[in-house]
Amino acid sequence: MQIDLLDTFLDLAETRSFHRTAERLRITQSTVSARVTALEQAVGSRLFDRSRAGTDLTPEGKRFEPHARALRHEWNEARRRIQIPQGASQLMRLGIQNDLAAVYLGDWVARFRVAMPETAFYIEPDYSNQMCADLLTGILDFAVMFSPKPHPDLHFESVGDVIYRMVSTDTPRLAEVRPERFVFAHFSPAFEEMHRQMTPDLAASAVSVGQSGSVVSLLMAMGGSGYVLEKTAEELVAGGRFMMVADAPELRQPVFAAIHIRHRTLALHRKLTQLVSRHFAG
């Protein structure tokens, strides 16, 4: 069976739209239809009901879906297992939230290498939604992220949180921070909501970005105020140009380790979770 048939089936099961699946997979709607037909012929059952109201899984399609996910996962697992770098006994593909990778990646990987010297690591900084998708498809083995996307095949574990502090080139007082000179941060949906609730007067900012590094870049170029990771804030203040807005509230972003449910009890994945948790525990 061709793996693209499973990919198309699973995407269509999620979107319930031939048009949307074609866009997401960058193929034509006729190709989507042909793949679904080929898969239905291969399994001997109709998997989707198509009508003007939309596309829905048949009872057979609903029963087939978890098996399709398992088949796709095993396929990706098999491909990875034969691509281990020379000299390593195993390969771990890690996803790390962009903000965390920019500041903590070096320390974390150094710890990983000491604890697991025979393991090779492929590391991909990314955003939470994409990492959840990559864990489901088997592209990633383990991820550290801000925003878990609940799914029956994924397991999430809280490992701590990171602190964001407000810095400014203009003032050390929150009352003097102006919205027109503020860079609003939306590092995650939960962070954005917390930001809006705790600093409502600054939500009208004309510039909003989703990375601490991008906030720094904008502030370095234009001046003004914004939230950045605490470690970054301390470095900026030490450089002399920025001030800590001491009376601005600290914003805490929870951090989660994520794995496919199949790996929940594996020693290697548990060790990675423990190493990341120790970092946040100090």
Q: What span, in angstroms and rounded, lies between the C-alpha atoms of 34 and 5? A: 9
Are 166 and 234 in contact, with CB atoms under 8 Å apart?
A: no
Strand 243-244 to 251-260 pairing:
unpaired
- φ, ψ dihedrals at 253, nearest 5°: -105, 115
Q: What span, in angstroms and rounded, lies between the C-alpha atoms of 48 and 9? A: 9
What's the sign of the alpha-carbon dihedral 46, 50, 51, 53?
positive
Q: What span, in angstroms and rounded, lies between the C-alpha atoms of 120 and 22? A: 35
Are 186 and 209 in contact, with CB atoms under 8 Å apart?
A: yes
In order, the DSSP letters of 2-65 are -HHHHHHHHHHHHH--HHHHHHHHTS-HHHHHHHHHHHHHHHTS--EEEETTEEEE-HHHHHHH
**Residue of 119, 153, 147, 120 whose CA lies nearest to 131:** 147
Q: How far apart are the first and last CA of the chain?
A: 49
DSSP E strand boundaries for 220-273: 225-229, 243-244, 251-260
Cα of 155 vs its chain's centroid, Å: 14
Give, for all 282 residues of the chain, the pLDDT tens digit. Answer: 588 999 999 999 999 999 999 999 999 999 999 999 999 999 999 999 988 778 999 999 999 999 998 888 888 777 766 677 677 778 889 999 999 998 999 999 999 999 999 999 989 999 999 999 999 988 899 999 999 999 999 999 999 999 999 999 999 999 999 999 999 999 999 999 999 999 999 998 999 998 899 999 999 999 999 999 999 999 999 999 999 999 999 999 999 999 999 888 888 899 999 999 998 876
In order, the DSSP letters of 95-129 are EEEHHHHHHHHHHHHHHHHHH-TTEEEEEEEE-HH
